[in-house]
Structure 1
Amino acid sequence: MENRKIWIKANGNEDIATGHIRRCMTIADELIRRGMDVEFILADDDSAHVLRVLSDQDNIVFDARILHTDYSKPEEELEIFAEFFKEEAPDFFLIDSYYATPDYFADLKDLIAESGRNIKLGLIDDFGKNDYPVDLIVNYDISGGKDIYSAGIKLLGEQYAPIRPAFSKTDYQVRPRARKVFLSTGGTDPYFVIKNILTEIYEGDSPCRKVLDVTGLECEVIVGTFFEEDYRRELEALSDRHKEITLHEHVTNMPELMSSCDYAVSAGGATLYELCAVGVPTVAFSMADNQVDFAIGFDKLGAAKYAGDARKDHRLVQKIVTWGTAAVDNPGFRKRMSDKARSIIDGKGTEKIVDAIVGLLV
């Protein structure tokens, strides 16, 4: 097959974090490996910054153009695309945005028809609440298939999670006693979950410290791209006071870091899928609507434990710490969860998505 042009539209900032761009980068990398010409379409400089930071971590460079529009109003981009289509057009246009409505896709299809171009459309959807006039749809929610979609190609379920290959190729060992914990909330931590967990474990007369033994527990903490500066300083102060806390920014060896930990605490986004691909027993929580079903789905299958929603569960931190402490001396429990997680997430979702895109363009 001759080189085909692929556009990928995704954004990232302190409100929507980095997950959209991260998963699209994973797909883009595989498309490029297959000989496709890939270009990111970004709304603004914030999104360009996210793409640049994540690309630097992965030691890869992507072509990108910035539209200088409001990421939450994709309808503003339609006139821009109409002008683009007069001069050039992709063979396939993959869109990853919660703000792209069925009407938006209908208008985009009208523009494509008016331009005389043959552009296939794809969407990554997390909610399964609407049908979209697209040729290919991806929804890797673990809770099951969605019968609402009418797209010709439907890639549904956890087998299509776009995991970076390194995560599924990492060896993992369940140790007799857990002593190292991986903590991540993704690109942001608007509810200060990490700080509250660390405070509960290491400082003051917290309820957990009065009844639970956390002696020697080490925490590997991921500092997200959009953590506010004041918050970073608070975490640095905690780390300075307690040698058991290690902060990590711009991590380039994430699979290895995950595999060195005995269990994890993670928001229910892309990181949860990566942890499961590695096999790290995980207690998950949600802090956005799209994370709730993901985390609950893993819990129902025994691949992770769901602790609750950071937006409304006032006992979330105590539940997380209690679960983690109970898992310390229970290697059998941790191994069962690890084995189940790895059996569900095989790490081949990216390849399957790209296979479908390439097949669509034959």
Structure 2
Amino acid sequence: MQKNVFVYCNGNSKIGSGHFWRCLNIADELRKRQLAITFLYTSLSDKLQQVLAEKEYPGTALNTTLKEGFTEYLNGQSGKQRRNLLIVDSDLTEFYELDFQNAVIQTGTKLMIITVNPNFKYVSHLILNQNILSLSQNYDTSKETRALFGPEYFIYKLEYRDEGVRKKTKTNGDVLIAFGGADPCNYTFQLMKFILTKTELEHINFHVVVGPLNPQLDDIMEMCSGVGNVSVYYNTIRMKEIMQSCAIAVCSPGMVYWESILLGLRTILLSSSPREKPIAKFLNDQHYGLTISNYDEPLSIKKFELLEKELVLGTTEFYSRLDHLRGMINPKGVEKVAEEIEKILI
């Protein structure tokens, strides 16, 4: 019996590349289990398409996000000797509508939706929300839907899965600044422009990671060039090594946040999207990190001053429950997700 998994995700300068990298990690785990993987997308940057080619994953561009485009494609992949699954990782709410879910299931295809949105009825076979916020939300699901919720299902990259959960680091130390592959809110440029004007921060070493989709890459490189306490890394493969040298991460509440928590860093958060804003608030309210701004707010001087104060003084009140959070993390969560996928393809 041939088992096929079709993974739909996009990645570009506007939405970033987080969906893509999460799906790639899932795909790599499924490939170990002899499942055939094909990526589907409607907007995927040339650089990310190159990643698929290097890893020898077939990729197909769809012309539309309408259900008809998916059902036409999936009907063409059906057959008596096949078991098919579609994984959708997108913030577009049209994929959460019952019309879309039912249309996919009616092709004979199993469906998995990666979501952070509890405001829809889910009839898909699997839903995944790896964020801790999901444990306090109410999702309306069918009896057949298996919900995979919380950090025990977190999708870590391969190099982090055998790490184990580290103890908290020292209060003061080097600082990581990283906002993913695209940084759609232009946080990196704005933060560094402020930091480089403050003599009070000259004793701190900053490690600035810039992704390939950042539109101000050249400006950031030029601004930080020759600054003794600033190191800039472009599209680096040394992320874990860089993080291990730091005590604080300034980031969005996405992949970098969870990698930071695993490695024992404290975090200063700025949300980059509507999806991340409630997550950032929850993490702040639960004392799992300090949130200083959101995607729909300007970076005011008061917020910059709060950042400076935290970097200089290294207070602990914002991180009082980090041990509780770390106790919930499963670095091998992707293996549990893959096991559930295998079950529905039997």
* Range of TM-score over shorter length: 0.7 to 0.9
CA distance in structure 2 between the aligned counterparts of 1:173 and 1:216, rounded to whole angstroms: 25
- Report matched runs for 1:193-208 at 5 Å: 193-203=187-197
Alignment of 1:294 with 2:279, yes or no, is: yes
**What corresponds to 2:332 in structure 1?**
348
Alignment of 1:81 with 2:51, yes or no, is: no
**What corresponds to 1:34 in structure 2?**
33
Distance change (3 Å), C-alpha of 1:312 and 1:84: same
Instruction: Supply the AA of the counterpart residue of 1:131.
Output: K
CA distance in structure 1 between the aligned counterparts of 2:192 and 2:281, rounded to whole angstroms: 24
CA distance in structure 1 between the aligned counterparts of 2:36 and 2:318, rounded to whole angstroms: 43
Identity %: 19
Instruction: Supply the AA of the counterpart residue of 1:323.
Output: E
Distance change (3 Å), C-alpha of 1:132 and 1:238: same
Q: CA deviation at 1:94?
A: 1.2
1:169-217: per-residue Cα shift (whole Å, max 9, x none)? 34757554623111111122233211222122222xxxxx38xx32321
Residue among 148, 152, 155 paired with 1:162: 155
CA distance in structure 1 between the aligned counterparts of 2:235 and 2:177, rounded to whole angstroms: 15
Q: CA deviation at 1:322?
A: 2.4
Whether the aligned pair in 2 keeps the contact of 1:279 and 1:341 (CA below 8 Å) is no
Question: What's the RMSD between the two structures over aligned residues?
Answer: 2.8
Whether the aligned pair in 2 keeps the contact of 1:7 and 1:93 (CA below 8 Å) is yes
Q: CA deviation at 1:40?
A: 1.5
Whether the aligned pair in 2 keeps the contact of 1:183 and 1:219 (CA below 8 Å) is yes
Q: Secondary structure at the match of 1:289?
A: coil
- Report matched runs for 1:1-150 at 5 Å: 4-44=3-43, 46-47=44-45, 49-53=47-51, 61-70=55-64, 73=66, 75-85=68-78, 90-99=83-92, 100-102=95-97, 103-110=99-106, 112=107, 118-143=108-133, 144=135, 145-150=137-142
Q: CA deviation at 1:14?
A: 1.3
Distance change (3 Å), C-alpha of 1:202 and 1:313: same
Structure with higher helix content: 1
CA distance in structure 2 between the aligned counterparts of 1:41 and 1:136, rounded to whole angstroms: 19
Whether the aligned pair in 2 keeps the contact of 1:263 and 1:280 (CA below 8 Å) is yes
Whether the aligned pair in 2 keeps the contact of 1:193 and 1:310 (CA below 8 Å) is no
CA distance in structure 1 between the aligned counterparts of 2:278 and 2:91, rounded to whole angstroms: 16
**What corresponds to 2:262 in structure 1?**
277
Aligned length: 337
CA distance in structure 1 between the aligned counterparts of 2:211 and 2:334, rounded to whole angstroms: 24
Q: CA deviation at 1:357?
A: 0.9
- Report matched runs for 1:281-360 at 5 Å: 281-315=266-300, 316-327=303-314, 339-360=323-344
Instruction: Supply the AA of the counterpart residue of 1:94.
Output: I
Whether the aligned pair in 1 keeps the contact of 2:40 and 2:62 (CA below 8 Å) is no
Distance change (3 Å), C-alpha of 1:4 and 1:109: closer
Distance change (3 Å), C-alpha of 1:306 and 1:334: closer
Point out where structure 1 has 5 or more consecutive residues left out of the alignment.
113-117, 204-208
Q: Secondary structure at the match of 1:287?
A: coil
Point out where structure 2 has 5 or more consecutive residues left out of the alignment.
none
1:281-300: per-residue Cα shift (whole Å, max 9, x none)? 11111120111122223223
Whether the aligned pair in 2 keeps the contact of 1:7 and 1:38 (CA below 8 Å) is yes
Instruction: Supply the AA of the counterpart residue of 1:104.
Output: F
1:62-120: per-residue Cα shift (whole Å, max 9, x none)? 412222424x556544333333437996522211122313222222223x1xxxxx421
**What corresponds to 1:206 in structure 2?**
none
**What corresponds to 1:187 in structure 2?**
181
Whether the aligned pair in 2 keeps the contact of 1:180 and 1:219 (CA below 8 Å) is yes
